[in-house]
Amino acid sequence: MMTSQPAAMARIISLALTAFVMMIAAVSFPFLTLDAKGLHNATSVVDAVLAFNEGYAIPLAVAVAFFIVVIPLIRLGALIYALGPLVREQPPRAGAKRAFGLAERLRPWSMAEIFIVGVTVALIKVAGLAAVTVGPAFWAFAGVVIITVLKDQMICRYSIWEALEHPTA
C-alpha cells in the first residue's frame, strides 16, 4: 500500500467520481413505473422522498432525502476534495483533514444500500397487484451502492490520515 499510494488513492478517487455521477443519474431518471388497468405512474427517487409530504411527516422526508441522496453525495464530495491533491502528489488542500473526518463520521448515516433492499421488498409486495417496470435510475442507484461498497473496502483510513499528515512521504 505504501509503495504505490498515489495509485491506490487514484483508484479510490475514480470510484468516488463514478459513484457521484451515477448518483446524479439515479436522482434524475425514472426509477420505477407502475401499470395497472390502463393507469400509469412513474416514480423517481425524489418522488419516494416526497411520499412523506403530509404535515407531520415532512421532517421524515428531509431525513430520507439525507439518508439516501444528500449524505452519500457529501461523503463522496468530501473524499474527492480531501484526496484529490494527494493523487497528483501535491500538498493537501486546506480543510482536507476536516473533510475526510466528515466523510468518516457520516458513514453510518449513508443508507443507499439499505434503500435498495427496501426497494426490493416493495417490488415483491406490489408484484401481485400490478406490472412494475424498472427504470434506468434503478440500475444507476444499484451501481452507486456497489461502487460505494468497493470504494469503502479500499479505504484504509489510518493510511489516509498518515498521508494527510505527511504529504509526499
DSSP for 57-123, written as a single string: GHHHHHHHHIIIIIHHHHHHHHHHHHHHHHHTT-PPPTTHHHHHHHHHHTGGG--HHHHHHHHHHHH
Instruction: Indicate the residue type of 102.
Output: L
CB-CB neighbours of 51 under 10 Å? 12
Measured from the CB of residue 165, what is the shortest distance to another protein in angstroms?
A: 5
| Residue 163, helix vs strand vs coil | helix
Asked whether 69 and 58 are in contact (CB, 8 A), the reply is: no
Q: Which is nearer to another protein, 2 or 14 (CB)?
A: 2
Residues near another protein, by CB under 8 A:
32, 34, 36-37, 39, 41, 43, 47-52, 54, 56-57, 59-60, 63-64, 67-68, 97-98, 100-101, 104-105, 108-109, 111, 114-115, 117-119, 121-122, 124-126, 128-130, 132, 157-158, 161, 164-165
Query: Whose Cβ is closer to another protein: residue 18's or residue 67's?
Result: 67
Q: Residue 64 CB, nearest distance to another protein (Å)? A: 6
20 versus 115: smaller Cβ distance to another protein: 115
